[in-house]
Amino acid sequence: MTTFETLKLERLEGGIALLTVNRPDKLNALNAQVLSDLHEAALSLKDDASLRALVLTGEGRAFVAGADIAAMSDMSEEASYEFSSLGHRAMSELSNLPVPVIAAVNGFALGGGLELALTADLIYVSEKARLGLPEVGLGIIPGFGGTQRLGRRIGWQRAKELLFTGRTISADDALAYGLALDVLPLEGFLDAIIEIARTIASRGPLAIRAAKQAMVQGRDLPIDQANQKEVEAFSGLWNTHDRAEGMAAFLEKRTPTYEGR
């Protein structure tokens, strides 16, 4: 398995991968090395047919507390452009993975940390989580997709309020705003998220990938064109082993054995 300087990539049973940002002494702050490692990790996963789901979290008491301000403070304009571009490449590769990505936000998810969480299909937060985009307090703006992904997730008016004020919100606020799916106790938090991933991984893997692809491709299209993406994804599964196996198992009242083909 590929190893990374600032990440832990672990393979769990059932086709689940656990990707942990591992700079706990810096509250997992995103510097160029972390962003490069995230990009490479996503590239290493995207063509893995055995992958069923990815869980994304942070080591220690933070998910990711933000970008590494110490590393950013002396950047030139050209360097800032490259840094932002690197962040976007990493976030895009994670967002575009063909399998569900689940963010397990255990603690602080500020600035680049919230932007990282926003690459996930599903966001769960612990009761200790704190989230926000505080960049305007530093005289800058989010640089890894926050100005675009947050509004698409929770609506533009609420996203503008959070970005313009730089306000940090609680786990309960994140739930109320539609940013998080659920708030879970910190004790046993990661285990609970992995169990959700196991449920996803137990379903037809080709169907899960097709469902994600149809939703991603259709989300910005007029409804008729978006529905056509669904028709194509639906019928595209018909001649697969997994479709036949899933329906046969249902009729025979047994658990299906999916092979991803």
Write out the catalytic residue numbers. 115, 135
- Give the relative orientation of helices 32-46 and 77-95 as an angle to the nearest 10 degrees: 30
Contact 242, 206 (CB under 8 A): yes
- The continuous run of DSSP H or E covering 10 comes out as strand 7-12
What tokens does 143 get? 């640089």
Q: How far apart are CA 7 and CA 259, in angstroms?
A: 29
Give the angle 232-237-239 at the CA atoms, nearest 5°.
120
Q: What span, in angstroms and rounded, lies between the C-alpha atoms of 42 and 37? A: 9
Rounded Cα distance between 105 and 183, Å, is 10
Residues 124 and 100: their CA atoms lie apart, in Å, by 13
Alpha-helical runs (H) found in the chain: 32-46, 69-72, 77-95, 112-117, 146-154, 156-165, 171-176, 189-201, 205-218, 223-236, 241-252
Tokens, residue 183: 């708030």
Query: What angle is formed at CA 42 by the lines to CA 148 and CA 117, rounded to 5 degrees?
Result: 40
